[in-house]
Amino acid sequence: MERFELLPLLREGVQVHYEGSIDKQGGNADWDWWLYQEGSEWVIFDVDGPGCIYNFVQHRYPESEEPTFSFYFDGEAEPRFRIRHSEFGHKAPFTAPLADAYMGPDDNGRGPIRVVRSFVPMEYARSCRITSDIRLKGAAKGDGGWGHVIYHSYSTAEGITTFTGHEHLDNLRDTWNRTGEDPKPAVPVQSAVTEQFTLRSGESVVLLEQQGAGSITAVLAEMNTTLPDIAFNAPLNGFPRPELQQIWVRATWDGHEQPDVECPLGAFFGNELGYNRIGLISHGETEQGMLYQYFPMPYWTSARIELINRGEKDIAFARWEICYTTEYNPLYPKGRTGYFRSSAYYPSQAAQGTDSIIGRISGRGHLVAGQVTAFSRSMGQISCEGDVRVHIDGKLTPQVESDGSESWVNYGWGFPTPPEMNPSSAYDGLPDSPWSMVRLCSGDVYPFRQELVFGIESGEYNNQYLRHSGILFYYGVDEQGMTLTDELDIGNKASEGIHHYRTSGSRGYYTLCACYEGDQDDVFITDTGHETEGWSEFVVSIHPNNQGVRLRRKSDQMTGRQKAKVYVDEALVQERSWYVADRNPYQRWLDDEYEIPALYTAGKDHITIRLEYVQAGETRAWNEFNYKVYSLHRQNYTK
């Protein structure tokens, strides 16, 4: 987070995860957040293995009983930190601007509600657990159980020092206090400046044409337009500032056949509506009206940036400035650095009974920002209940999910008080509708090795008419970062024989008909699997040039706290156990993953996996229905 200039570097051994208050039955009751009770504490987050928490959020009525959160690291018996709900933003290490509180509106007597949030990065080498001294539940006044944690898991603990609270975060806090200024270190730059010009309908203009290696450090723009008067009771038929839709930015790196970035002006600068100024540390609009984009954009042979007027009106600009440098070239080795790219722009449209797919990205890389705009049929209509759902690398279980649209940008109670902003997220619009939200993921990037699909519901369960539009920004390359090299189908005798599947302590086979969480929760799948209170073992094929192996298990999450030790060729994987603390007795299918470091797999074309059940909490067995085996790599394997 502190070194914004390193954002383009591709991630190795990193996955993003979500834990929070999602309605287990797929409705809108997203207000119960607890995994299990231990003594007098309610555990709300529990993971094994190295990782880092990047985002902690909890919504609570101030009149409700106040929870105290305890943070345990690396198996400690006593918490390293305790903090009350009202202390976020004031008590170290959870101090502003990296932690604060948002107070929502009164909402006809139901509110106000206090949303506390932390972006303090908290690494741990072995494990982490967060508890509350009261059960977080309910939506009525006096309760309030909404919340989430966004975190990374690491395949190894190499270079990880467990968070103490005494880390020197002054530079990061200083950066977050200077929203609107370039968050990267000052280096010598050159500038391509275009001033006082009019872009006529159907025309385009090249703002930058550069040969050789370098990186864009800033894209700055000033417009000669003002916001027209808005009829507040008029139907919502279009965007209030059409120029933010009709002017498109196109960027092409290294002579690629397809543009790397291509989107409307509003999406490029983080606000498609433009009612008010909003700005993050990455992109937005300053108080003086300057539009800015500070994401580093490396290239190795050429860079071209142009504007296109796709509308019917001529648009006047006061100034465009593109800053670029060669100073960062040593930081960006080709093959381990991603191009700055956008997903295909998702134009304003209403999906019928299914999630709006804002972006679908293929290849390998990591998401760093997303922007979504929504229009309901009339102004002021509540339109915030739809969850964001992100699927990564073909997993049927969402990897990231939010309890409402506004929760993805760390706010609560809808979008009632625009504009709202903090250095990492913001929204603009009119009260409740329309709204345009933007989220920066500078620490909690969303890595993917094959694909990333970003969707959002329309209403509580896709039961509302909403027109969504939006875009994703990411760093990526075309080549995928993992290959499916084997698959074991439990219950299929041929597959079990091929993989030398055997088990001890068997509790037998059983057949389950259930659905996954997310947009496919109305699709029921029947499969046969096995459960054991001892161990299971099987042999799988992998690529000898692997950079590690990822196992994906299809399992039944009827009970939580399923846990197993993992052995590879009789060697215990020391970095973590395979542990899933959450459960869902209603939507029972779960795709969960375990990443084996290359230390155990490099140079081998097959490995023997043994999973040894460990009793934890309510579980009585380890269940398994299918295993997919992926060999990880940085570049495509040659045949």
Cα 53 to Cα 153: distance, rounded to the nearest angstrom: 9
pLDDT beyond 70 at 635: no
Q: Phi, psi (5° rounding) for residue 519?
A: -65, -20
pLDDT, mean of residues 589-613? 98
Residue 610's H or E segment, with its range, is strand 606-613
Percent of the chain whose predicted confidence (pLDDT) is above 70: 97
322 bridge partner residues: 192, 219
- Sort 489 into a burial class: Cβ within 10 Å, 0-12 / 13-18 / 19+: buried
Q: How would you class 300 by CB atoms within 10 Å of its CB: exposed for 0-12, middle for 13-18, buried for 19 or more?
A: middle
Average pLDDT on 292-311 reads 98
Supply the pLDDT for residue 167.
93
Q: In what order do the strands lie in the sheet with 549-556?
A: 482-489, 626-632, 549-556, 589-596
Is 517 a residue whose pLDDT tops 80? yes
pLDDT at 618: 85
pLDDT band for position 111 (cuts 50, 70, 90): confident
Please provide the average confidence, as pLDDT, over all residues in the chain: 94
Q: Is the pLDDT of residue 233 over 60?
A: no
- Express each pLDDT in 395-411 by its tens digit: 999 999 999 999 999 99
Give the CA angle between residues 233, 236, 242 to the nearest 5°. Answer: 115
Q: Note the pLDDT tens digit of each residue in 92-109.
A: 999 999 999 998 887 777
Which band of pLDDT confidence, cut at 50, 70 and 90, is reported for residue 340? very high
Interval 174-220: pLDDT, tens:
999 999 999 999 999 999 999 999 999 999 999 999 999 999 999 99
Mean pLDDT across 289-315: 97
Residue 9 — pLDDT band, cuts 50, 70, 90? very high
Query: Over pLDDT 90: what percentage of the chain?
Result: 88
* Contact (CB, 8 A) for 586 and 521: no
What is the pLDDT at residue 578?
98
The overall longest dimension of the chain from CA atoms, in Å, is: 77
Q: Indicate if the pLDDT at residue 234 is higher than 50.
A: no
What is 326-393 written as a DSSP string? STTGGG--TTSBPEEEEPPPEEEE--SSS-EEEEEEESEEEEEEEEEEEE-SSTT-----PPEEEEET
- pTM for the model: 0.96
> Poorest-confidence range of 21-25, 254-258, 565-569?
21-25
Residue 245 has pLDDT above 60, yes or no: yes
Rounded to the nearest angstrom, the gap between the alpha carbon of residue 110 and the centroid of all alpha carbons in its chain is 30
Kindly write down the DSSP assignment for every residue of 536-561, as one continuous string. Answer: EEEEEE--TT-S-EEEEEEEE-SSS-
Which residue, among 495, 501, 458, has the nearest Cα to 351 in the 3D structure?
Answer: 458
* Model confidence at 455: pLDDT above 50: yes
Give the separation between CA 602 and CA 619, rounded to whole angstroms.
33
The predicted structure's pLDDT at residue 638: 40
Contact between 41 and 72 (Cβ < 8 Å): no
Whole-angstrom distance, CA of residue 420 vs CA of residue 429: 10
Q: Which residue reads 């096995």 in tokens?
A: 530
**Of how many residues is the chain composed?**
639
Higher-confidence residue of 142 and 576: namely 576
Q: Is the pLDDT of residue 601 over 90?
A: yes
C-alpha distance from residue 378 to each of 128, 372, 419, 420, 582 (Å): 45, 18, 19, 21, 39
pLDDT on residue 637: 47
The residues, any chain, with a CB within 8 Å of residue 386's CB and separated by 6 or more, are 404, 405, 456, 457, 458, 459, 460, 462, 464, 466
All structural domains of the chain: 31-176 (2.60.120), 190-477 (2.60.120.1390), 482-632 (2.60.120.260)
Helix (H) / strand (E) element for 422: namely: strand 420-422
pLDDT in tens, 24-81: 999 988 889 999 999 999 999 999 999 999 999 999 988 889 999 999 999 999 999 9
**What's the token pair of residue 388?**
């964001």
Whether residue 475 is predicted with pLDDT greater than 90 in this model: the reply is: yes
